[in-house]
Chains A and B, each alone.
Chain A
Amino acid sequence: MPDRTIQLKIKRQDDQSASPYWQTFSIPYRPNMNVISCLQYIAAHPTTADGTETTPVVWDCSCLEEVCGACTMVINGEVRQSCSALVDRLLEEDDSIKLEPMTKFPVVRDLFVDRSRLFEDLKKTQGWVPIDGLYSLGPGPWESPAKQDTRYDLSRCMSCGCCLEVCPQYTRNNNFVGAAVISQVRYFNTHPIGANNAAERLNAMMEPGGISDCGNAQNCVKVCPKDIPLTESIADVGRMTTIHSIKQFFRGE
């Protein structure tokens, strides 16, 4: 089918305070297209399906192989990375493709949102191993293959924000840190040296916006592109927090 085209409906917004509007683009079909290649086509040919000249659609992306997390957006109602969203498979379910920015973060322009809150929350929860500097001080602690396996699964979080987009408790008006950050607390608290700051992380988890804001909807784990066991992490950090608060109680802290 040489002349086959596909339709992309895109929710656009000119800047942070402007009202959103929809535009439809018609794109020549090629086998093995992904949403990124459609957006690249629009960048080079910024004309809507009805022939109106417009500006290229703005979106965030970098690696295009689903490992950096940048190109996350809502595609046909589901939050995911646009690089691994293959057109053929999207069209099996629908005759057009609908792109929207994530709703839990402020829109900068079009599909590009500001996810800096996620990185700020990692700062609050001390998302690092507190090493004694970059000097040569020998190896880190040994680790069993099983434990490495558990930590590796957690360490693949690319801060894309999918889990936050589907979380009913994470809103633009509250300060809940969400599953991604809670899982990182587990990641660092299960490392022998990371655990040196476990108390500080758990204190942060006990503050407003911490673990008690989780409503246990369990949507997060279903959309994680890296299959991180997020609900397991939440349960684990919940347990750690309970024990931590009991200890604090008996110490009179």
Chain B
Amino acid sequence: MASPNQRVIIVGGGLAGLGAAVRIAEEGVPVDLFSMVPVKRSHSVCAQGGINACNDVARQQGYSEWQHMDETLYGGDFLNHQPPVYEMTHWAPQIIDLLDRMGVPFNRTPEGRRDLRLFGGSLFKRTHFSGATTGQQLLYALDEQTRRQEAAGMVHKYEFWEFLWPIIEQTDDGPLCHGIVAQDMRTMEIKSFKADATVLATGGCGTIFGKSTNSVICNGAAAARAYRAGAWMGNAEFIQVHPTAIPGEDKCRLMSESARGEGGRVWVPRKKDDDRAPGDIPEDERWYFLEEKYPKYGNLVPRDIATREIFFMCQEGYGIGGGRMVYLDCTALPDETKKKLDGIFEIYEKFTGDDPREIAMRIFPSVHYTMGGLWTTYSSEEKQPVHGDKGKAVGMQLGAPDNMMTNIPGLYAFGEVNYQYHGGTRLGANALLSCIFDGIFCGPSVVNYLADRREAGNTVDKVPDTFFAEAVETEQKKVEHLVAGKGGENPYVLHEEMGNWMTDYCTVVRDDAGMKKLLEQLQTWKSRYENVSLSDTAMWTNQNLSFTRALGDMIRYAEAIVVGALARTESRGSHYRPDFPDRDDRQFQQTTIASYDAEHDRPDVRYEYIPVPMVEPRARTYGAVK
């Protein structure tokens, strides 16, 4: 048992963070929960389409948890570790049950059971959904359960607090995490917080690419800070570009894969520069290029594939009006199907003025999900195969203290910031699952780790207070340094420039020359960053300071992405190199591990073998016909 004095810190209040908070609190361990926004406003709220799990109907149609695992590995181009995927997909049905018990308004069949929709990377309906705002509904359910634990005194929320640094001691036995330094974003007070275990559940890094589908808080700074403090990154170069988003002035807004799952079709006019309204273009003059090339999966090929096809179409001049957009057409869907998509149709209508029920949507790919992230480990064990399993079954050991722990004992990574589960591309509707799974399955691991630490006699209460005071002082000095900066470099301009470069050279197509230029540019951004000036030096609710501080971390994260992408001379999942168009299992059936070399301010990259206990890698074609 953990001692009553032991606490856990969770940074991030999305699905992973809240799932962990409730699970750990339920074990009687108090949780300090940190978030830059009220947790109800976390980025999980943006997820739209659904959450995957085998259910009884799918099972009777020939689907199984094993099949769900196989799809996830095939979709991920076999860069995923298999035991965590086995465990996640086998837990998926009970996770849906749990969410159902929490009151999530899942869409229902006429009989009152949970309905399913089709989603990318599968030929089976196995995606549970709540309209087209599933993420919002799931987040709210966990937000409610967290509020319940808060009312019971088990969870203490620190909302509008920013994680600044993990507190890590270099002991004789190696590094050990003792908590965090954080800053109140309103009063600007910087404080240290002690804990025997710290969970980072801080999400993805989309805003490194400037405009993305991510919330403004998804800047990767928390992960980058952990990385700069010694945590390893895994597969940082794997960034998902979602095929269907509405390009905007301030961000790109996601148009869910569920639009295609429910029957929406992607097309361009066969004639270049056809300037007729989409409704006036007859059927035989439309080019449904995804359906043509992938007759089996059609519009529901995995996202990286759909994204590349759309991108190349536009590059060849087939985009609408010769530009960078294609049609996503839901106009022909029956009314009851359209109703299931109201949540996203409303967004499209509000932001573009067009009603997608009447006129085809105009969409283009946008940076969307971070498959890579902080490197983590786990304990695997052989399982008794269940119905549908095809051979030896290897999953994770429930409650093993090292599940989803980083290379720094006491520091965990859950949810999108964790590099596990999705490999080279994440399948649609697997993100909500992996985030909740991390929280709920690995929560007990954190609790067991506390007990281990207590038995080992190295709990945080033995660390002298001066150690924490120094950590706070270091962060205060960084603030003073930024406030004193007089070099005149504008952090927002620098961020916009980096975002444009990263999008142009390190997203859909990654060619060698472009990335080399980008890497050079990164070095100049580092030196320009040293000359940033703040336009606000007030010590009260200073967003300018928070943004600028994060930018320095984002540049380091960006470098890990680019260095990883340059070194990986193959194409796999979302990582496409025109100079190396094939997957190279001999050399790269491996995880990229980036560790931060503080002395030279650069990432060191090495590779780690990925065991293949269950599913042998096979060619990932999705039945392409040409």
Contact = CB atoms under 8 A, between A and B. Distances in A.
Given A40-B492, A134-B22, 10 more contacts: A15-B540, A37-B249, A126-B151, A129-B102, A129-B103, A133-B26, A142-B111, A142-B113, A148-B106, A152-B137
A68 B492 contact: no
Nearest to A65: B253
Contact of B215 (A56, A68, A119): A68
Contact of A144 (B42, B112, B151): B112
A137 interface: yes
Scoring A46, A62, A155 by chain B CB atoms within 10 A of each residue's CB, the highest score goes to A62
B213 to A, nearest CB: 8
Interface in B76-124: 94, 96-98, 100-103, 105-114
Contacts of A130: 148
Given A56-B544, A134-B22, A148-B107, A65 B37 contact: no
A156 B343 CA distance: 10
Contacts of A188: 103
B145 interface: yes
B440 A36 contact: no
Contact of B536 (A56, A67, A129, A193): A56
Scoring A86, A133, A134, A152 by chain B CB atoms within 10 A of each residue's CB, the highest score goes to A134
Interface string A28-44: 00101110110010011
A69 interface: yes
Nearest to B352: A32
A66 interface: yes
Interface in A123-158: 123, 126-131, 133-134, 136-140, 142-145, 148, 151-152, 155-156, 158
Contacts of A122: 147
B447 to A, nearest CB: 13
A191 B144 CA distance: 14
B248 interface: yes
Interface string B467-492: 00000000000000000000000101
A211 B358 CA distance: 41
Contacts of B113: 142
Nearest to B436: A134
B263 interface: no
B254 interface: yes
Nearest to B547: A43
A140 B597 CA distance: 50
A228 to B, nearest CB: 13
B453 interface: no
A53 B136 CA distance: 40
A93 to B, nearest CB: 15
Chain A interface main SS type:
loop
A127 B443 CA distance: 24
B351 A84 contact: yes
Contact of A61 (B42, B137, B150, B216): B216
B130 interface: yes
Interface residues of B, number: 72
B23 interface: yes
B140 interface: yes
Interface of A: 14-15, 30, 32-34, 36-37, 40, 43-44, 46, 53, 55-56, 58, 60-70, 83-84, 86, 108-109, 112, 115-116, 119, 122-123, 126-131, 133-134, 136-140, 142-145, 148, 151-152, 155-156, 158-159, 188, 191, 193-194
Scoring B151, B353, B547 by chain A CB atoms within 10 A of each residue's CB, the highest score goes to B151
B538 A65 contact: no
Contact of B150 (A32, A37, A66, A123): A123
B151 A123 contact: yes
Contact of B216 (A30, A62, A128): A62
Contacts of B493: 44
B387 interface: no
Contacts of B251: 64-65
Contact of B37 (A62, A83, A140): A62
Interface of B: 22-23, 26, 37-38, 40-43, 45-46, 94, 96-98, 100-103, 105-114, 130-131, 133, 136-137, 140-141, 144-145, 147-148, 150-151, 159, 186, 215-217, 248-251, 253-254, 343, 347, 350-351, 353, 440, 443, 490, 492-493, 496, 535-536, 538, 540-541, 543-544, 547
A189 to B, nearest CB: 11
Scoring B22, B249, B536, B540 by chain A CB atoms within 10 A of each residue's CB, the highest score goes to B249
Lowest 7 CB-CB distances: which A-B pairs, in order? A44-B492, A140-B100, A142-B112, A128-B144, A109-B541, A68-B41, A129-B103
A70 B41 contact: yes
12 contacts: A14-B538, A43-B492, A65-B251, A68-B46, A70-B41, A123-B147, A130-B148, A137-B98, A139-B114, A142-B108, A155-B137, A159-B40
A116 B541 CA distance: 16
A36 B541 contact: no
A125 to B, nearest CB: 10
A207 to B, nearest CB: 16
B242 to A, nearest CB: 13
A23 to B, nearest CB: 14
A32 B440 contact: no
B28 to A, nearest CB: 12
A67 B538 contact: no
A119 B147 contact: yes
